[in-house]
Amino acid sequence: MKKHSYLEKYRTNNTFEDYSKKLLDIIAEMRELKYKEIEENDKSDKKALQNFIENKFLREGDKLLSLQVVGSFLHGTDTINSDYDFKGIFIPSKKSLLLKEKRQSYKFSSTKNAHKNGNKDIDITFYSLHFVLEKLAQGDFNFLELIFALREKNNCVYRSKRAKCLYNNRFKFFDKEGLRHSLLGFIKNHYLNINDKIVARETYDKSDLKRLAHAYRALIMLQEVLNTKNILFPLKGAEFIRNIKENKIDIFRAIERIEKRLPVLKKEINKSSFILEEVNKKDIETMILSFY
């Protein structure tokens, strides 16, 4: 196996302002390798990437758990105009916890000011382990996706051995109430807002199509969790979701599918034998402590 060389040119001393651009460049080059994770046996480059991120983007003592591709390139719904999104998980340092300086997240973007992202832009966000587990307990759709995507190495730029522990214990982190309230609420609100807007104005725009695509994507991902206990990426319904975004199907067809499936999903959540009735806070605390 040929040794990756894209890290070598970045092992130099620069000002802090250069580092976000450097990481974006590194990921851009890795993108050309189709997001293939650094080979497990190539420990030199893997450690170099970990050190680069921890030293230049996280506070002293914070430890990187994972850095993953998310968004349309994970789902398989990317188009020619799609930007690139990455999310990482880190363990806050003991010092930051004791001094109450723990940060929930760090965000970096290649987009300047408030301009809309284009197809060459990359956004990177790092979330603390504590924040990720808190959002999971609430049934937050985006963080459920983040944990389930840890299963496959090809979804990750960097994945530590300890990150796989989060995936293996994924069903300890969310419960039925969280899914009913947060995820089903997310789906319902997105498609209802669009439906009401169409009725009122007799029209819709790209932002409406994007919201509807998000709602349908959340629906099929939840259905897959209930059916298989997993979410495989790219998504099985990726083409249909992309067609929603690009206005290539009847928008009411997608709305009708969502309306029919929502009450069924709610019943399936209630009947599920592997989704907790309530998250055990002691399990969460034990998991966090195991990382220190």
- At 181-223, the pLDDT tens digits run 988 888 887 776 666 666 655 567 788 888 889 999 999 999 9
- Looking only at the bridges linking them, the beta strands covering 84-91 and 63-70 are antiparallel
Which amino acid, residue 247?
A: N
Report the distance separating Cα 283 and Cα 285, nearest Å: 5
Report the distance separating Cα 50 and Cα 53, nearest Å: 5
* Joined tokens for residue 224: 């897959």
Whether the full predicted model's pTM is greater than 0.85, yes or no, is no
Question: Judging by beta carbons within 10 Å of its beta carbon (0-12, 13-18, 19+), is residue 110 exposed, middle or buried?
Answer: buried
The number of angstroms, rounded, from the C-alpha of 181 to the middle of its chain's C-alpha atoms is 20
Question: What are the pLDDT digits (tens) for 277-286?
Answer: 999 999 999 9
Residue 32, pLDDT score: 56
Report the distance separating Cα 84 and Cα 29, nearest Å: 12
